[in-house]
Amino acid sequence: MSTYKIGQVYMMLFSGNKHVQQGFRPGLITQNDVGNKYSPNVIAIPLTSSMTKNHIPTHAYLNAVECGLPKNSIALCECETSVSKEDVGAYVTTVPDQYMEEVGICLMKSTPVAMFINTDRMLNLIHLLKTEYKICSA
């Protein structure tokens, strides 16, 4: 079994329907690494190479060359979902921190519930994530 990490892209099976992404496609892991280690699922965002909706505020652009992807892609942050580890396939790449920053911004636009957090608590949480949990290199 792989050790999944936040920011990694794997091929995975998304079980959406109608206007929700579905099928075997690249997915970007957004779940924290403790959850990735112990949960039978990962939380991920489907990627698409269709650039027709790249202007939507919940879509993060991922440059193929800089991110190690086969094609320029869009992270569909409004479609974050749980995927069984049984439906996760081959590792593709790890997205650089500067692109993960954009994904984080788009996720906050998609689920702005964090705006209810007191500013001091939010800053403390960010510090905790960056230092103790080593979520990103910044």
Q: Which residue, chain included where needed, has tokens 């190479």? A: 49
CB 30 within 8 A of CB 45: yes
Structure tokens that stand for 109 in this block: 């636009």
Question: What single-letter DSSP state applies at residue 113?
Answer: G
> Which CB contacts under 8 angstroms, 24+ apart, belong to 107-113?
107/30, 107/45, 107/58, 107/77, 107/80, 109/57, 109/58, 109/77, 110/58, 110/77, 110/78, 110/80, 111/80
Q: What is the full per-residue pLDDT of the chain (138 aa) written as tens digits?
A: 578 999 999 999 998 665 556 568 999 999 988 889 999 999 999 999 988 877 899 999 999 999 999 999 999 999 999 999 999 999 999 999 999 999 999 999 998 888 888 999 989 888 888 776 666 655
Say if domain 8-110 classifies as CATH 3.30.43.10.
no
Note the pTM of the prediction, 2 decimals.
0.86
Residue 81 has a CB neighbour count (10 Å cut-off) of 19
Listed residue (129, 124, 128, 121) closest to 104, CA to CA: 129
Domain chopping of the chain, boundaries:
8-110
